[in-house]
Amino acid sequence: MDLNFNKNEDHNKLLLSNLRHKFAKVKLGGGEQRIQKLHSEGKMTARERIDYLLDKGNSIEIGGFVGEGMYAEFGGCPSGGVVVKIGYIKGKQCIVVANDATVKAGAWFPITAKKNLRAQEIAMENRLPIIYLVDSAGVFLPLQDEIFPDKEHFGRIFRNNALMSSMGITQISAVMGSCVAGGAYLPIMSDEAIIVDKTASIFLAGSYLVKAAIGESIDNETLGGATTHCEISGVTDYKAKDDKDALDKIKNIVDKIGDYDKAGFSRIKAVKPALDEKEIYGILPKARNEQYDMMEIIHRLVDDSEFEAYKEGYGQTIITGYARIDGWAVGIVANQRKVVKTKTGEMQFGGVIYSDSADKATRFIANCNQKKIPLVFLQDVTGFMVGSKSEHGGIIKDGAKMVNAVSNSVVPKFTIIIGNSYGAGNYAMCGKAYDPRLIVAWPSAELAVMGGTQAAKVLAQIEASSLKAKGEIVDEAKEKQLFDKIKARYDEQTSPYYAASRLWTDAIIDPLNTRTWISMGIEAANHSPIEKKFNLGVIQV
């Protein structure tokens, strides 16, 4: 291995170490003291509940870094106050949503609602059984105006409960703590509801509010405890003696669920890549503007390192072709980051989408839809090519065709942001707006309208011009100060953690976990037969 490989490897392993350190902190939720308080009440934490519920083995966490750096004035909201994982219960793939009572007693922040809606979206797209482990004080009142009335706010969750019921998607709730006000509808709109004796309660209004509203004096246990709802109101279906008993009941219910209709995606016995996956750390460059061969990454992600290239010599700044990942057949669309030479001798910049590469990708996406092959997008893109030659050649038209194909694709799509994800390149390569079933980033990822240096130069020039117009002296030192300040702010916003905190991506992952995410994602998608036909609609040829 050369010196550059070693430098890249050290840099990427440092990014990975930082990821693990940050996630270890996130997993503590509201902190050790609040965890101990839960334990003293005889309750498990959200993560302990999920770990007990899921079979040992593979699982993936959605939105682990949601809320990162947000709501500092309220003490933060680690993981958005809710833990979401896809895993297996008695061998059946499910998605589990658990309120984290160590974070503001499980109260719902605006980002909490967004994360819950994402979990429901995954369940609905893939027809996955969804399990809710409820322990929440309800809406976080200081931010009620950002969570209550709009289309993508709290009420949408109950609407989704109703839709999933009509779709035949199994929903099971276990009330394991507080469940108040509007939140009380979630477990009761599920197929079956379990409540833990003495530590859980369900009511539209607690005892203090009841006293204030109608003058009735009553304690919370009598008002809405397990005995009340299992023996008097009939609101819940099962009474559990403690958390583990409730989780065991869920396991027993899931164990009886019948098989599902499959989409029928091709899968054979899985084979590990023939090339060493760990070499990815040394191949991926330290700087985001450096060249590398994306095929070297692909060969370390796919089974037996086998890849059947489609139109290999045409449109070379996008790689397209067929492979298998953990046995599943996939069509891969990847940005090529090295400078390539066309047949005419023209040099094309790596990571840029040209007309010919957009045309190739469009055709390949159509082929995968025809053959019912899931699509995997590997993003490291700086955008579409600009300039008179590209404009006269119809780059906007060819780019629109690619975006059209991505938008209308009916096979499941999965997006891995490896490096740059800039501007319209993010869209064409199936960014969040284009409904990938799962979208994850490597620690090396950057998401923005354009690169930090370019953006900072433009913004610094604008600000300098504004200051000069006001009569201020802007010398070289002042220009550098403006540039550095704007660049630092812009770099923070392009960070994968900034994107993950806002759920623009589902997770930041170790590159070596990429195969697991794609495999589990396709397995989930296989629960939902394709009912639509691929149709590009009206496009300009």
pTM (two decimals): 0.93
DSSP state string for 450-487: S-HHHHHHHHHHHHHHHHHHTT----HHHHHHHHHHHH
Cα→Cα distances 263→127, 410, 412, Å:
11, 12, 10
Of 131, 30, 148, residue with least CA distance to 80: 30
pLDDT in tens, 109-157: 999 999 999 999 999 999 999 999 999 988 888 998 888 888 888 889 9
Cα→Cα distances 294→172, 300, 314, 337, Å:
43, 10, 16, 6
Provide the residue type at 343 as one letter: K
Angle at which helix 243-255 crosses helix 46-53, to 10 degrees, equals 40
What CA–CA distance (Å, rounded) separates 63 from 501? 8
Task: Specify the 3-state DSSP secondary structure of 160.
Answer: helix
Run of H or E including 166? helix 155-167
pLDDT of 112: 95
Tell me the pLDDT of the chain averaged across its residues. 93
DSSP state of 393: T
Q: Give the confidence band of 450 by pLDDT, cuts at 50, 70, 90.
A: low
Run of H or E including 413? strand 413-422
Question: At residue 492, what are phi and psi to the nearest 5 degrees?
Answer: -60, -40
Residue 329 near residue 404 (C-beta atoms within 8 A): no
Our CA angle for 306, 308, 313, nearest 5°, is 130
Angle at which helix 395-408 crosses helix 355-371, to 10 degrees, equals 20
Residue 176 near residue 134 (C-beta atoms within 8 A): yes
CA 272 to chain centre: 25
Report whether pLDDT(503) > 90. yes
pLDDT in tens, 369-385: 999 999 999 999 999 98
